[in-house]
């Protein structure tokens, strides 16, 4: 049985991506939860993960003796292992585009990621308003995301970015959660896409589990004294 190592669901945006993809696609796996106690070298988290993969991070997909880390590598491995699931678009050009936007998420949007860390259980519209006012980089990141999603939804007719659900939607699901938590302004059609993503069974399952954790980590939320 495949095993997917993930961190706290409330905070771990990278863990969310392969978990949602596999759950939504109906790919069976065993979840291995590794709590974030800290990220120092002597933390329980780092000590456990260091014995599983060389970078000591989540997510990690273990399939027999093979360990695959990094969300892009996990996505590609799943797509190759389960071609019938159509985790990438079937059209060659659309598939290249989907890979491109996943890679863009992987390496970009640093302002949004740093200023608006994923926090599913929280509702932080006032903090979001201040971030929106004070951080041009966040506004630029959101503008790029809105433009990207708008073009894809119009080109492929929805309901997801490439028509049917793909790895691209799983990859941007944590962005949907960030935009929701911080109530960052987006046009109505983008808000409707966000609603559709949040309604996906795989996303709903992740969110429900995140809300059930009730595990407030102060080092993940330096902007709050308590949940």
Cite the residue boundaries of each domain of the chain with CATH code 3.40.30.10. Answer: 3-85
Query: Quick check: 225 pLDDT over 80?
Result: no
Query: CATH top-level class for 92-200?
Result: mainly alpha
Pairwise CA distance, residues 85 & 21, whole Å: 10
Q: Chain-wide mean pLDDT for the chain? A: 96
What pLDDT is recorded for position 226?
78
pTM: 0.96
**pLDDT band at residue 27, thresholds of 50, 70 and 90?**
very high
Superfamily of domain 3-85: Glutaredoxin (3.40.30.10)
Residue intervals of the chain classified under CATH 1.20.1050.10 are 92-200
């Amino acid at each position: 049985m495949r095993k997917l190592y993930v961190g706290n669901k409330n905070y771990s945006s990278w863990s969310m991506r392969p978990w949602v993809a596999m759950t939504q696609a109906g790919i069976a796996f065993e979840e291995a939860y590794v709590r974030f106690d800290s990220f120092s070298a002597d933390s329980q988290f780092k000590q456990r993960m260091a014995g599983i993969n060389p970078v000591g991070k989540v997510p990690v997909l273990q399939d027999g003796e093979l360990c695959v880390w990094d969300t892009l590598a996990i996505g590609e491995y799943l797509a190759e292992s389960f071609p019938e699931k159509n985790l990438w678009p079937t059209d060659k050009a659309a598939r290249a585009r989907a890979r491109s936007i996943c890679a863009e998420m992987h390496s970009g949007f640093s302002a949004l990621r740093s200023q608006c860390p994923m926090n599913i259980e929280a509702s932080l519209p006032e903090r979001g308003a201040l971030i929106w006012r004070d951080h041009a980089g966040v506004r630029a990141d959101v503008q790029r995301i809105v433009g990207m999603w708008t073009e894809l939804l119009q080109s492929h007719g929805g309901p997801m970015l490439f028509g049917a659900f793909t790895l691209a939607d799983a990859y941007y699901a944590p962005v949907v959660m960030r935009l929701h938590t911080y109530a960052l302004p987006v046009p109505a059609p983008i808000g409707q896409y966000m609603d559709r993503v949040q309604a996906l069974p795989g996303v709903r399952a992740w969110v429900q589990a995140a809300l059930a954790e009730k595990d407030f980590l102060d080092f993940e939320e330096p902007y709050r004294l308590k949940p």
